[in-house]
C-alpha cells in the first residue's frame, strides 16, 4: 500500500504506544516484518520548547524507515510549528496527528480524542499541520468519537480527507470506552466506504489470525497492532505468514524468548544507558516472560533485579531452564 509517496510491502504496522514504542521496540518489530513503525506520541508544546526529553522520543535510525512521528496538541498554531520543526530536523516519512488518546491528562487539555468533541477545531488543527509540511504525508489516528452519542465516523473521515490527510487509522472505540468493551469493526468498514484515502484498522487485534479477520471483515488497507505486540515482536512475522496462506504460527520457545530479551535489553542499554535501560526493560520482561512453567518466578527475579549483572545472570538461568524444557 501507499501513503502519499511512501510505499510499504507489509500492511501490518506497529501502533504508537506511550512508554513502549521507543527505538528498541520499534527496531525489533521492524526486523520481524512491521511495515511502518510509529514513535511514542509527542507533545507539540514540548517540541517547540525543544525539551530534550521530548526530542529524544522523536529520534530514530535509518533502518527504522518508513517511520511515522506522532504529535498531539490543542492549538493549530503550536501543532503547525511543531510539525514544521519535526519535518526539518528529523525528516520522518510520515507525520501522524493523535486524535485518539483517551487519557484524562491529555484530553483535559483538549488534545487527543477530546478534539473529536469539536470537529471545527479538528479541521483547523489538521489543516494547519498539512499546510506546514506540504512535502510530508500527514496521517491521523482517531477514535470513533467522544462517547456513544457522538460517533463521528464517517463524517470526521470525510473532513480529514478534504483538508489533505493521506491516511486514517481508526480505533473503533469511543474515548469514554478507553480500552473497555469490544471494538466495533463495522465502523472501520463504514469509514473505508466513505473515503478514498487508505484506512488502517486498529483495536482488538490480539493475535495474528485477528489481522486476517480484520482485513476480511472491514476491507481496510492495513492493520495497526498495539497491545497484541507487547512482548511479541513475532506477531508481525506470524501475521504476514497467515496473510500469505502459510501454516498457523507456533508460539516462540522459551529459548527464543530469552534471546529476544537479551537483544531488547542490549538495545535499551545502547539507547538509554544502564539505569534507564534496566528500568525500561522490566515492564518488557513482564510481557515476554509468561506462558511456561515457573514463568512467574523468573519474571519476578528479572523485574526485581537491582544490578545489570544480576539481570543478565537470571537470563542465563532461564536459558538453562529452557534447555531442560526442550529435553
Pairing of strands 2-3, 6-7: antiparallel
Query: Could you tell me the three cell numbers for 227?
Result: 497491545
Q: What is the C-alpha separation between 78 and 249, in angstroms, rounded?
A: 45
Annotated catalytic residue, options 25, 29, 101, 220: 101
Is 261 a known active-site residue? no
Q: Could you tell me if 262 and 224 are in contact, meaning their C-beta atoms sit under 8 angstroms apart?
A: no
**CA-wise closest residue to 119 among 142, 94, 136, 137:** 142
Cβ-in-10-Å burial (0-12, 13-18, 19+) of 300 comes to middle
Instruction: Give Cα separations from 226 to 37, 139, 195 (angstroms).
Output: 11, 17, 24
Cβ-in-10-Å burial (0-12, 13-18, 19+) of 13 comes to buried
Q: Which residues are catalytic?
A: 101
Amino acid at each position: 500500500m501507499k501513503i502519499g509517496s511512501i510505499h510499504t510491502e507489509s500492511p501490518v504496522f506497529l501502533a504508537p504506544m506511550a512508554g513502549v514504542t521507543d527505538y528498541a521496540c520499534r527496531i525489533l518489530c521492524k526486523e520481524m516484518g512491521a511495515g511502518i513503525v510509529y514513535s511514542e506520541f509527542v507533545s507539540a508544546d514540548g517540541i517547540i520548547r525543544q525539551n530534550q526529553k521530548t526530542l529524544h522520543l522523536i529520534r530514530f535510525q535509518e533502518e527504522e524507515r518508513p517511520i511515522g512521528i506522532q504529535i498531539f496538541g490543542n492549538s493549530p498554531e503550536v501543532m503547525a510549528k511543531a510539525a514544521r520543526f519535526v519535518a526539518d530536523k528529523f525528516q520522518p516519512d510520515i507525520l501522524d496527528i493523535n486524535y485518539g488518546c483517551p487519557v484524562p491528562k491529555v484530553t483535559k487539555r483538549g488534545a487527543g480524542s477530546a478534539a473529536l468533541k469539536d470537529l471545527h477545531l479538528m479541521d483547523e488543527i489538521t489543516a494547519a499541520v498539512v499546510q506546514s509540511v506540504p512535502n510530508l504525508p500527514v496521517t491521523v489516528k482517531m477514535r470513533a468519537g467522544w462517547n456513544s452519542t457522538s460517533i463521528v465516523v464517517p463524517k470526521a473521515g470525510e473532513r480529514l480527507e478534504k483538508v489533505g490527510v493521506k491516511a486514517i487509522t481508526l480505533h473503533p472505540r469511543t474515548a469514554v470506552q478507553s480500552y473497555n468493551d469490544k471494538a466495533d469493526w463495522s465502523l472501520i468498514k463504514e469509514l473505508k466506504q466513505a473515503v478514498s484515502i487508505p484506512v488502517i484498522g486498529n483495536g482488538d487485534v490480539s493475535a495474528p489470525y485477528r489481522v486476517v479477520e480484520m482485513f476480511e471483515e472491514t476491507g481496510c488497507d492495513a492493520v495497526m497492532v498495539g497491545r497484541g505486540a507487547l512482548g511479541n515482536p513475532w506477531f508481525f512475522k506470524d501475521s504476514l505468514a497467515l496473510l500469505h496462506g502459510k501454516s498457523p504460527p507456533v508460539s516462540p520457545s522459551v529459548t527464543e524468548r530469552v534471546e529476544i530479551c537479551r537483544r531488547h535489553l542490549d538495545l535499551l542499554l545502547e539507547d538509554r544507558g544502564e539505569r534507564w535501560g534496566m528500568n525500561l526493560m522490566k515492564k518488557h520482561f513482564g510481557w515476554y516472560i509468561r506462558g511456561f512453567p515457573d514463568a512467574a518466578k523468573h519474571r519476578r527475579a528479572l523485574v526485581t533485579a537491582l544490578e545489570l549483572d544480576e539481570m543478565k545472570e537470571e537470563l542465563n538461568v532461564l536459558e538453562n531452564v529452557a534447555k531442560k524444557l526442550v529435553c
